[in-house]
Amino acid sequence: MQNKSNKNLIQIHVSQLKLGMYVSELDISWLETDFAVQGMPMNSQKDIDAIAHYATHVWIDPLKQVTLGLTQLKSIHPVGQLQQTSALKSISPPQQSEKKSCKDYPKINSAVEEHSTAKVLYSQGKTAIKNILTKVSERNEVAIEDARGIVNGCMESIIKNPDALMWMSKIREQDEYTAEHCLNVCILAMVFGRHLGLSEKEIVRLGLCGLLHDVGKMKMPNEILNKPEKLSASEYDIIKQHTLTGYELLAGSANFIPPIVAEVAKSHHEHMNGQGYPFKVAAGNLDPMVRMISLVDAYDAMTSDRCYSKGKSNTEALKLIYENKGKQFDEELALEFIRCVGIYPAGTIVQLINGDVGVVIEINQQYRHLPRLLMVRDSNGEVVNPYYLNLIEIEFGDLSNQHLIRCTLKNGAFGIDVSAYVSPVF
């Protein structure tokens, strides 16, 4: 691995590589590869695939980026679009036709326009999921209609623009982990389903699976569930029973609950290599929705602060998912999830090459490394009156390359609390 001393270099995941970018450094030494040179432009999809064979993350040099004409820029499609058909085939149940087409969901509102609605939905959703979990704990009752209300409300907002609720899922309170985790998995799962082009009916079902996947934890001993430190081996064995307990609660409900919801509760900790729990199920027997919730559940857990550990950054979590594709996670779905979330999801704090700091407001679907930002700090770390900056303008020459993103920062960097910018700005 090389010394990343050049401040102009920008770290990205290999799934974010696009034609015209110049790869200056890899996360391994160039000497460990078959490349004859150390540094190369991405002139073709073959070049991108060759880099991805060796590296997980790369450092690109924006100053050496190949300048493409406007016509060429418009003809370049995201990697996710080029490979979406293959991924959808992998998640379609065997009885469905492989000719199933994916649905395209254009953004109807901007993230700014959708934010006030998303804020209300998230607040109402968190209250509702707390009540649902309380009923499970006290009465062994699953309030399925309340759950459907949460999912349907979130669904409408996500179809219009997924970035607004993605932002809300970044705002967390440590003492409300279980409720927030259930709601976040619901939201992220539906955003993922939208990305994959699933039908609205399938997205709603996927959201319901995400919302109720952990209901079994409500029947686990509180002293273990809320333990402020890492669990012992024996305690972990007890917690693992939440999968079977959740399955029994959902499958035995007096009200109709789609069978897949109970199946996801039981199997979301199974792995593709058959080393998960509770039954070490082989990959061929794992429903596509189980595989999707497994990914989303792991991602949200990894990026959440717990009383005994700090959450990982988005980049760190995606790297772990990438490293475990084909082992813990479905390989094609893992790659699609990385493309869906992107290296700069809404709510992420970023620092530009020029030193200014902002928060990602909205992802640009075609140029995912150039999101729309809300700028909140100058290059000296001083507070500024928030203003919007759309990095897509770099592609058209209206902003310099000094406005490219240098790195992501954790919530709290420069004293920035993402939740502080929900109400005053939007």
| Phi and psi at residue 26, to the nearest 5° | -115, 170
Q: Is 90 exceeded by the pLDDT of residue 80?
A: no
Task: Output the CA angle 378-382-384, nearest 5 degrees.
Answer: 65
3-state helix, strand, coil in the chain (%, to 5): 50, 10, 40
Largest CA distance in the chain: 67
What number is the average pLDDT over the span 205-218?
97
Q: What is the pLDDT of residue 68?
A: 40
Q: What is the pLDDT of residue 174?
A: 63
What band does 27 get if pLDDT is binned at 50, 70 and 90? confident
Q: What is the pLDDT of residue 161?
A: 94
Q: What is the pLDDT of residue 402?
A: 92
The per-residue pLDDT of the chain, averaged, comes to 85
In sequence order, what are the beta bridge partners of 358?
A: 350, 375
Q: What is the pLDDT of residue 66?
A: 58
Cα 277 off chain centre by: 23
Q: Is 70 exceeded by the pLDDT of residue 53?
A: yes
Q: Is 90 exceeded by the pLDDT of residue 257?
A: yes
Distance from C-alpha of 85 to C-alpha of 124, rounded to nearest angstrom: 36
Closest-CA residue to 402 (of 367, 357, 356, 354): 354
Q: What is the pLDDT of residue 122?
A: 93
Q: Tens digits of per-residue pLDDT, 89-133?
A: 444 433 333 334 578 898 899 888 898 899 999 999 999 999 999
Lowest mean pLDDT among 62-76, 142-156, 300-314: 62-76
Question: Which contiguous run of DSSP H or E holds residue 292?
Answer: helix 288-302
What number is the average pLDDT over the span 130-143?
95
Domains of the chain: 10-75 (no CATH), 111-340 (1.10.3210.10), 349-421 (no CATH)
Distance from C-alpha of 117 to C-alpha of 162, rounded to nearest angstrom: 12
Amino acid of residue 162: P
Q: Is 80 exceeded by the pLDDT of residue 425?
A: no
Q: Is 50 exceeded by the pLDDT of residue 140?
A: yes
pTM: predicted TM-score of the whole model, two decimal places? 0.77
Positive or negative torsion for Cα 79, 83, 85, 88: negative
